[in-house]
Amino acid sequence: MFTQAQQESVKALETPFYYYDMALLAETLDRAKAAADKRNFHVHYALKANLNDRVLALIQSKGYGADCVSGNEVQKSIDTGFSPSQITFAGVGKSDKEIILALQQGIFAFNVESIQEMEIINELAAGLGVRANVSLRINPNVDAHTHHYITTGLDDNKFGVPTSELERAASVIRQASHVDLIGLHFHIGSQITDLNVFKSLCVKVNEWKNWFEERGTAIKVLNVGGGLGVDYQHPDENAIPDFEAYFDIFDRFLERSAQQEVHFELGRALVAQCGSLVSKVLYTKSGIKKNFLILDAGMTELMRPALYQAYHKIERVDANTSAEEKLYDVVGPICESSDCFGKEVPLPASERGDLVAIRTAGAYGEVMASRYNLRDEIRYVFSDQF
């Protein structure tokens, strides 16, 4: 990950910190944009994946839109230079304050997740004397075959309008004087690596698009969400997802007219591989059955392993390749037994002061960091600083 010269510089930095490979990020963004542009697809970056200012600035400079799930994310995207005409606002619990902010900014569309939310947006838009573009989020009951915490498209998930309520939703939309239905929105989950899942999604999108059109409602936008996964096992061999194959699925299986736009909301696939969490070994500890590496980074810096039991590749930054390999439970300093990055991890024999990198941490890493245990705020550095 680091050259020999860079390793000397890294050793002088205070750990833990996030390291961002800006060249890899730029190449990932360019490849995704090229694959989308050739099919006239629109891509909004999901800010919830990573809100680092330099990361956002680079994404905005490449011509991406923004996908937001809070009023503060809407404001952050505008402050970073994203055009309001390219901002979507999703989420099941938008507050009145957040809705008003987005209405005042004239964003592209609200992704509406309930009939009551539709009614509130209409009421608030009327109070401001404006009209709101909305896309109705439909729960398509497609299993993403991923962790149950990040599956969002099943009937028992909290997201979207159940299909049983669509008749009523259509009636409410027709009566809403300050809401314009411009599209349908779908998002079935995250970290999806089986592209056949997206074929199933296309079938459902086609069905519901036709359902609305048969009832006289024109659909301009088909927003199919995101969810494309990354390779946590092999971050160097598969540093950039196969965007061509991903977008090709929708190009081949999504039925749309020449006038209809197709929108995506990608987060993890764009930023995950560019980020690594770099930490130092504070202590080594041997039990009867276990060897422990105790790091100065913990679940406060990277929550995913504790929250999702997620795998991240762990490697020594400055390893002696001839050193004996041992199995370690790699843990953090937080006073929780769940503060563990990996069990039985094969690593070169390690000692206090050695550097460790936890890979594929550019998505849902820094952005989920906390100050639990009154920890220091997380630090970050960029590849072009060396």
Model confidence pLDDT, tens digit, residues 110-159: 999 999 999 999 999 999 999 999 999 998 877 555 545 445 444 566 67
d(CA 332, CA 341): 8
Per-residue pLDDT, 11 = 87
Could you tell me if 109 and 240 lie in one domain? Answer: yes
Binning pLDDT at 50, 70 and 90, where does residue 381 land?
very high
* Neighbouring-strand partners of residue 228: 192
pLDDT at 385 over 80: yes
Per-residue pLDDT, 156 = 60
Binning pLDDT at 50, 70 and 90, where does residue 1 land?
confident
Could you tell me if 197 and 236 lie in one domain? Answer: yes
Q: Which residue has the higher pLDDT, 206 or 6?
A: 206
What is the CB neighbour count within 10 angstroms for residue 282?
16
Binning pLDDT at 50, 70 and 90, where does residue 293 land?
very high
**Residue 124's domain is classified under what CATH number?**
3.20.20.10
CA atoms within 13 A on the CB side of 195: 13
Where a domain ends, among 216, 246, 272? 272
CA atoms within 13 A on the CB side of 348: 14
Could you tell me if 51 and 198 lie in one domain? Answer: yes
> At residue 80, what is the residue type?
T
pLDDT at 108 over 80: yes
The dihedral built from the CA positions of residue 25, 261, 253 and 200, taken in this order, carries a sign that is positive
Number of domains observed in the structure of the chain: 2
Where a domain ends, among 252, 272, 292? 272
The dihedral built from the CA positions of residue 272, 379, 343 and 356, taken in this order, carries a sign that is positive
Angle at 379 between CA 310 and CA 53, to 5 degrees: 90
Where a domain ends, among 214, 239, 272? 272
DSSP-assigned letter for residue 346: E
Could you tell me if 353 and 204 lie in one domain? Answer: no
Per-residue pLDDT, 152 = 45
Q: Which whole number is the average pLDDT over 17-24?
A: 98
> At residue 155, what is the residue type?
D
pLDDT at 51 over 60: yes
Per mean pLDDT, which range of 3-7, 155-159, 329-333, 339-343 is the poorest? Answer: 155-159
d(CA 357, CA 315): 5
> Hey, which bits of 92-147 come out as E strands?
109-112, 132-137
Could you tell me if 60 and 174 lie in one domain? Answer: yes
Per-residue pLDDT, 160 = 85
- The mean predicted confidence, pLDDT, of the chain is 93
Could you tell me if 43 and 182 lie in one domain? Answer: yes
Q: Are strands 65-68 and 87-89 parallel, antiparallel or unpaired?
A: parallel
Measured CA to CA in angstroms, residue 43 lies from 5, 37, 65, 79, 217 at distances of 37, 9, 6, 19, 24
* Torsions phi, psi for 48 (to 5 deg): -60, -20
Q: Residue 230: is it exposed, middle or buried by C-beta count within 10 angstroms (0-12/13-18/19+)?
A: buried
pLDDT at 274 over 80: yes
Contacts of 30 (CB under 8 A, 6+ apart): 62
Domain that holds residue 377: 4-18+273-385
Q: Which whole number is the average pLDDT over 224-252?
A: 98
Per-residue pLDDT, 158 = 65
Element (H, E) at 347: strand 340-348
Per-residue pLDDT, 150 = 41
Per-residue pLDDT, 351 = 94
Could you tell me if 169 and 299 lie in one domain? Answer: no
Per-residue pLDDT, 149 = 46
Per-residue pLDDT, 139 = 86
Could you tell me if 78 and 214 lie in one domain? Answer: yes
Could you tell me if 284 and 350 lie in one domain? Answer: yes
**Residue 366's domain is classified under what CATH number?**
2.40.37.10
Per mean pLDDT, which range of 27-31, 36-40, 161-165 is the poorest? Answer: 161-165
Could you tell me if 128 and 245 lie in one domain? Answer: yes
Q: Which whole number is the average pLDDT over 270-294?
A: 96
Could you tell me if 163 and 208 lie in one domain? Answer: yes
For 166-223, the pLDDT digits (tens) are: 989 888 988 999 999 999 999 998 999 999 999 999 999 999 999 999 999 999 999 9
Per-residue pLDDT, 157 = 64
d(CA 330, CA 294): 6
Could you tell me if 217 and 297 lie in one domain? Answer: no
Cis peptide before 162 (omega within 30 of 0): no
